[in-house]
């Protein structure tokens, strides 16, 4: 009963997980050669709602050979000279491609059926991003509990007062970077962009992991990231990556050109000015690469 309620709720919230079950191209070819059908199941084309007939023509609703009639625009396997035209119907104008006898065609790089997504940020291959984020969160919570142990030694206050004046205020300042804005608007802007950009990217990758490792494992005949929901999801993850890049560019401009006085390091104890500047730039470059 719980499983049925869960599936029903997902269908109502994300109707795009329902797949086209009346596509005779898939059912017929599955019995002849399952390789391209299985590859297509994990391709970006399927997630974007692009099916067999969109590239090969034909009528997927007819369950006999008449589905491959010319009246339905059936072309079968496109020739090399026709591939750019076929792919260019959705992706770009054919004039933007350099095409000669020796040049590769679209499927030689992108595959015919197991087509990968191209974009600003490759969500599916972000294992390093997840790892670095977990390490960063571990460092954050380590520092948090160290400070918590220190604050715990202070005078006792009511829980209601604690949450109202302490916890809620801390959450608000974390999400808005209000304390940074109050001292330096420029710094507040790029801190906010980098913070929210990485936070959204982390949430996006968690959704991908949920879809690949949990949802499709328990429900192999349904998809969570599919069709219009996947396109919206891709747009927001790419936008989040762009927000991070803009924030880092603002950091670089500040350090390389604006050079505020507060960043003119002075020698403190045994620390040299060169060491501080090198560590500062290494941190910025590391964030940009990440």
> pLDDT of 226-268, one tens digit each?
777 878 888 899 899 999 999 989 988 988 888 887 776 665 5
- pLDDT for the residue 268: 59
The two three-digit tokens of residue 217, written as one number:
């494992």
285 or 125, higher pLDDT: 285
Minimum mean pLDDT range among 8-17, 40-49, 74-83, 192-201: 8-17
- pLDDT for the residue 220: 64
Minimum mean pLDDT range among 92-106, 149-163, 232-246: 92-106
Beta bridge partners of 268: 271
Number of H helices, E strands in the chain: 15, 0
The two three-digit tokens of residue 58, written as one number:
């034909």
Contacts (Cβ under 8 Å, ≥6 apart) of 115: 43, 44, 45
Between the ranges 18-22, 161-165, 175-179, where is the mean pLDDT highest? 175-179
Q: How far is 261 from 250, CA to CA, in rounded Å? A: 17
Residues of 98-132 as b/e, b for ≥16 C-beta within 10 angstroms? Answer: eeeeeeebbeeebebbbbebeeebebeebeebeeb
- pLDDT for the residue 190: 92
- pLDDT for the residue 200: 92
103 or 236, higher pLDDT: 236
Q: How far is 219 from 223, CA to CA, in rounded Å? A: 8
């Amino acid at each position: 009963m719980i499983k049925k309620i869960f599936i029903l709720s997902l269908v109502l919230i994300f109707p795009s997980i329902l797949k086209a079950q009346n596509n005779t191209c898939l059912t017929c070819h599955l019995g002849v050669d399952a390789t391209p059908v299985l590859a297509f199941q994990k391709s970006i084309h399927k997630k974007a709602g692009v099916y067999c007939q969109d590239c090969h023509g034909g009528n997927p609703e007819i369950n006999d050979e008449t589905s491959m009639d010319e009246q339905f625009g059936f072309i079968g396997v496109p020739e090399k000279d026709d591939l750019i035209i076929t792919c260019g119907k959705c992706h770009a104008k054919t004039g933007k491609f350099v095409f000669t006898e020796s040049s590769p065609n679209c499927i030689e790089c992108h595959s015919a059926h197991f087509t990968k997504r191209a974009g600003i940020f490759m969500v599916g291959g972000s294992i390093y991003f997840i790892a670095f984020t977990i390490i960063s969160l571990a460092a954050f919570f380590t520092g948090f509990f160290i400070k918590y142990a220190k604050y715990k030694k202070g005078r006792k206050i009511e829980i209601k007062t604690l949450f109202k004046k302490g916890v809620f205020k801390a959450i608000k300042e974390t999400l808005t970077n209000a304390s940074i804005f109050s001292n330096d608007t420029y710094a507040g802007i790029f801190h906010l962009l980098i913070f929210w950009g990485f936070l959204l990217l982390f949430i996006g990758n968690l959704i991908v992991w949920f879809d690949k490792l949990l949802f499709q494992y328990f429900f192999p005949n349904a998809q969570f990231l599919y069709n219009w929901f996947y396109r919206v999801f891709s747009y927001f993850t790419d936008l989040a990556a762009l927000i991070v890049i803009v924030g880092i560019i603002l950091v670089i401009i500040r350090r390389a050109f604006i050079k505020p006085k507060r960043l003119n390091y002075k020698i403190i104890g045994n620390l040299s000015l060169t060491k501080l500047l090198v560590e500062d730039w290494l941190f910025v470059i590391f964030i940009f690469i990440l």
